[in-house]
């Protein structure tokens, strides 16, 4: 038996050496396209994108915009859905660094906790673009630009509309607030902007404020609690349409008429929200455009080419009343 093993040994060594050489050559070939990072060997730009999740109509529209724009721009898009977990986004970004993609972009689910992984990307020489939401990193060199809305402005416009439309109110106006995902830039900033605006009228009082995590289910569940705890609710301010749409079910189930017994202000202006506005169930929406794909692809090409880009690019958006929603609905892209 020993001889058998011995006689086989040289052949096995040759086979093992051949396997190593073959593996080595394959690996070398796989990395040969140094120009295009972890791409499939052609000279397409490879963009690694980490998406927050699929929590709302806005997010779905944002994902569609990014995927369609990448195809249109001839960019090889690696896409990951983090299911609203920061650890999944950090894992995805580290994978993209390992794959040596050309550019990394992501919408950070929360503002804090990104410095370490962003420094890893910077040390690997991979430019990062923030899109939709921002991070609170003090070191602005960790990313090339932030493309997205001004959430404080969206909150402020919502509050200003309420101040303007509460002038005839006698006595306190009780407001409940459905906040977005805890720790996220849109939740923090929309709350800030709205609070600053309604401070203009002391009758306007936020009597309850809680996160519904930007989902319909979350909006419904928290609104049910609000309705049980507060017999007099005059206004609902929801940080996105989806939580407002979930709250509609709770309001109706409580025997109240949305848009009349309870004034409803939301943010996003996705199609279902605009329909609720046109139907008189919502009263005002501040738009937050998810159609960031084309601008993101343009920025990816620029940073890959080493071109300077502005550190902050604010998306253009507007607001809608019930009448404006009726006019705008037929042409809405999302």
Contact residues toward ligand GZL (CB under 6 A) are 55-56, 58-59, 132-133, 148-149, 186, 214, 240, 242, 267-268, 288
Report the residue number, 177 or 234, with the smaller CB distance to ligand GZL: 177
At a CB cut-off of 8 Å and minimum separation 6, what does 238 contact? Answer: 177, 178, 212, 219, 244, 247, 264, 265, 266, 267
Say if CB 252 and CB 225 are below 8 A apart: no
Please state the closest distance from residue 286 (CB atom) to ligand GZL, in A.
10
Please state the closest distance from residue 190 (CB atom) to ligand GZL, in A.
8
CA distance 149 to 75: 24
Please state the closest distance from residue 109 (CB atom) to ligand GZL, in A.
9
Please state the closest distance from residue 285 (CB atom) to ligand GZL, in A.
11
Please state the closest distance from residue 95 (CB atom) to ligand GZL, in A.
23
Report the residue number, 97 or 248, with the smaller CB distance to ligand GZL: 248
Report the residue number, 95 or 315, with the smaller CB distance to ligand GZL: 315
Chain residue whose CB lies nearest ligand GZL: 58
Please state the closest distance from residue 271 (CB atom) to ligand GZL, in A.
13
Long-range Cβ contacts of 79-84 (<8 Å, 24+ apart): 79/49, 79/51, 80/48, 80/49, 80/50, 80/51, 81/51, 81/53, 81/54, 82/50, 82/51, 82/52, 82/53, 82/109, 83/53, 83/54, 84/52, 84/53, 84/55, 84/109, 84/181, 84/213
Instruction: Tell me how many degrees the CA angle 37-41-46 measures, rounded to the nearest 5.
Output: 40
Please state the closest distance from residue 240 (CB atom) to ligand GZL, in A.
4
Report the residue number, 68 or 272, with the smaller CB distance to ligand GZL: 272
Please state the closest distance from residue 178 (CB atom) to ligand GZL, in A.
11
Report the residue number, 97 or 284, with the smaller CB distance to ligand GZL: 284
Report the residue number, 38 or 244, with the smaller CB distance to ligand GZL: 244
Report the residue number, 130 or 300, with the smaller CB distance to ligand GZL: 130
Report the residue number, 133 or 281, with the smaller CB distance to ligand GZL: 133
If phi > 0 it is left, if psi is from -120 to 50 it is alpha, else beta; for residue 171 that is left
CA distance 308 to 144: 9
């Amino acid at each position: 038996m020993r001889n058998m093993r011995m006689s086989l040994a040289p052949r096995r060594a040759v086979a093992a050496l051949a396997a190593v050489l073959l593996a080595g050559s394959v690996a070398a070939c796989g990395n040969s396209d140094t120009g295009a990072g972890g791409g499939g060997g052609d000279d397409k730009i490879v963009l690694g994108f980490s998406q927050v999740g699929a929590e709302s109509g806005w997010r779905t529209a944002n994902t569609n915009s990014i995927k369609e724009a990448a195809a249109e721009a001839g960019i090889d898009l690696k896409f990951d859905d983090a299911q609203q977990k920061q650890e999944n986004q950090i894992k995805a970004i580290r994978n993209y660094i390992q794959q040596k993609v050309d550019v990394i972009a992501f919408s950070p689910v929360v503002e804090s906790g990104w410095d370490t992984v962003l420094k890893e990307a910077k040390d690997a020489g991979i430019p990062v673009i923030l899109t939709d939401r921002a991070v609170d990193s003090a070191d602005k060199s960790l990313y090339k630009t932030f493309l997205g809305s001004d959430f404080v402005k969206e909150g402020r416009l919502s509050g200003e509309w309420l101040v303007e439309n509460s002038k005839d109110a006698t006595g306190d106006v009780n407001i409940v607030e459905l906040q977005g995902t805890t720790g996220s830039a849109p939740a923090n900033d929309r709350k800030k902007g709205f609070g600053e605006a309604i401070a203009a009228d002391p009758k306007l009082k936020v009597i309850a404020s809680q996160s519904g995590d930007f989902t319909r289910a979350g909006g419904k569940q928290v609104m049910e609690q609000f309705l049980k705890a507060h017999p007099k609710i005059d206004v609902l301010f929801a940080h996105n349409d989806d939580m407002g749409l979930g709250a509609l079910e709770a309001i109706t189930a409580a025997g109240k008429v949305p848009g009349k017994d309870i004034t409803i202000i939301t943010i996003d202006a996705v199609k279902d929200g605009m329909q609720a506005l046109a139907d008189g169930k919502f009263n005002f929406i501040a738009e937050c455009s998810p159609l960031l794909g084309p601008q993101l692809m343009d920025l990816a090409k620029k940073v890959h080419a080493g071109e300077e880009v502005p550190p902050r690019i604010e998306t253009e958006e507007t607001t809608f009343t019930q009448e404006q929603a009726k006019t705008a609905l037929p042409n809405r892209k999302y």
